[in-house]
Amino acid sequence: MGDPTSSAANPTSISAVDSNNTSSHPDPDTHVGDQYEVPTYEPHSSFASLKERIRHHYELASDYYYSLWGQHIHHAYFLSPTDTKETGQINLINLLLDISGLAPDSTVLDVGCGIGGTTRHLAREHGCTVTGITISGRQVQIAQRLTGEEVATFATGTGGSAPSQTSTTGGADADGFTADGPRGGRVKYIELDAEKMETAFPPSSFDCVWISEALSHFPDKPLFFRNSARVLRGNGKGKLVIADWFRAENLTEQQTEADIKPIEDGMLLPPLCTQAEYVAMAEAAGLKLLHAPKDISKDVAKTWDISWTLVSSPSLWAFAISQGRDGLAFLQAFRAMRRGYANGTFRYAVLAFGKPQDRL
């Protein structure tokens, strides 16, 4: 079976393909993707195969994502015309901190941590002890490498803040955590299918479960909400913090076919949910709504304008297409994301839940 990022099977090669063609077209109003059709939607054969394709996707493409998008592989939240994708990504993290009221020094489970950008940020800037989990072993390797580089930067005093005693120790402690940053924060990365959280962590293990743009990939979302409620501490401070992709309410069949199905196909998603469906699933799991969904679609949509520009190399498209229809479906999903935002059919929101104090 093909993969949307089979074109990235050799990350070094695909990066070279793209970087050698940075000036893609003489006409800024055209894009190399315009000459290719959007593949016909193909339903996922099973949730098990979808999950394996997701794992394979990140095994192959994570190096390439890092080269294009940096440490934070998530949307940017643009608050001003001067925001870059980098400042916008930090804006999004800060928004999640704001709506959740997450206290410094909290213990956090970062679900779908990617290459650890948010994991490290929460440790470095807020003194949190953060366990990042990802289905991809390659992402764990990259995250550990980037953590080592960051710790070394602080150890040499070039990290922008005065290094603390714990931030210069280098290796992992007895629990597998590496100290990161001047505020006593620590990080650890584990290769783990998020749907197996129950087997990896005992009840009441964390002050916070943090998940950014990963839940939309999960086939069994009610299970995730139940597992989150289980691992959160029932001291009245346990929080579930979410940023994710959604479909708009009450879409017609035509809107779904035109705007949503190409996103689900190319981005390896089971059927997208609405924001109200997330709230219902969380409350069914015993969680309490702390912050109603805040729709920030118009403030993050520019993310995909930037992304569309970043995949403008003709050689990148040719190489992806040579790997099969899924390579083309992945790249054309970038176009679909832009169209969905423009039409209002595809949405982005942040929300937060709490675990009631009387729950175990």
Which amino acid, residue 344? G
What does the alpha-carbon distance between residue 320 and residue 304 come to, in Å, rounded to a whole number?
Answer: 19
pLDDT of residue 10: 38
Of residues 258 and 35, more confidently modeled? 258
pLDDT band at 237 (very low <50, low <70, confident <90, very high): confident
pLDDT band at 22 (very low <50, low <70, confident <90, very high): very low
Query: How buried is residue 207: exposed, middle or buried, by Cβ count under 10 Å (0-12/13-18/19+)?
Result: buried
What does the alpha-carbon distance between residue 145 and residue 296 come to, in Å, rounded to a whole number?
Answer: 33
Of residues 19 and 151, more confidently modeled? 151
Query: Cβ contacts of residue 285 below 8 Å, gap of 6+?
Result: 222, 225, 226, 228, 229
- Give the tokens for residue 291: 């912050």
Which secondary structure element, helix H or strand E, spans residue 263, and what is its range? helix 261-266
Residue 16 has pLDDT above 60, yes or no: no
Residue 197's domain comprises: 6-16+31-354
Count of the separate structural domains present in the chain: 1
Q: How many residues does the chain have?
A: 360
For residue 355, what are the CA distances in angstroms to 45, 58, 201, 237, 274? 36, 31, 17, 7, 22
pLDDT band at 13 (very low <50, low <70, confident <90, very high): very low
Residue 18 has pLDDT above 60, yes or no: no
The mean of the pLDDT values for the chain is: 83
What does the alpha-carbon distance between residue 340 and residue 312 come to, in Å, rounded to a whole number?
Answer: 20
User: How do residues 122-141 score in pLDDT, each as one tens digit?
Assistant: 999 999 999 999 988 888 99
Poorest-pLDDT segment among 70-74, 91-95, 225-229, 321-325 = 321-325
User: How do residues 178-196 score in pLDDT, each as one tens digit?
Assistant: 999 999 999 999 999 999 9
Please, are residues 68 and 55 in contact by the beta-carbon 8 Å criterion?
Answer: no
pLDDT band at 172 (very low <50, low <70, confident <90, very high): confident
In a domain, 26, yes or no: no
Query: Cβ contacts of residue 44 below 8 Å, gap of 6+?
Result: 50, 53, 268, 270
In a domain, 359, yes or no: no
Please, are residues 355 and 287 in contact by the beta-carbon 8 Å criterion?
Answer: yes
pTM of this structure? 0.84
Residue 8 has pLDDT above 80, yes or no: no
In a domain, 22, yes or no: no
In a domain, 82, yes or no: yes
For residue 8, what are the CA distances in angstroms to 61, 64, 71, 116? 5, 7, 18, 20
Of residues 345 and 325, more confidently modeled? 345
User: How do residues 29-86 score in pLDDT, each as one tens digit?
Assistant: 688 777 777 777 677 667 677 766 666 666 666 666 666 677 888 999 999 999 999 9
pLDDT of residue 36: 73
- Give the tokens for residue 326: 């899924």
In a domain, 226, yes or no: yes
In a domain, 164, yes or no: yes
What does the alpha-carbon distance between residue 336 and residue 91 come to, in Å, rounded to a whole number?
Answer: 24
Query: CATH code at 176?
Result: 3.40.50.150
In a domain, 25, yes or no: no
In a domain, 201, yes or no: yes
Strand-pair partners of 231: none
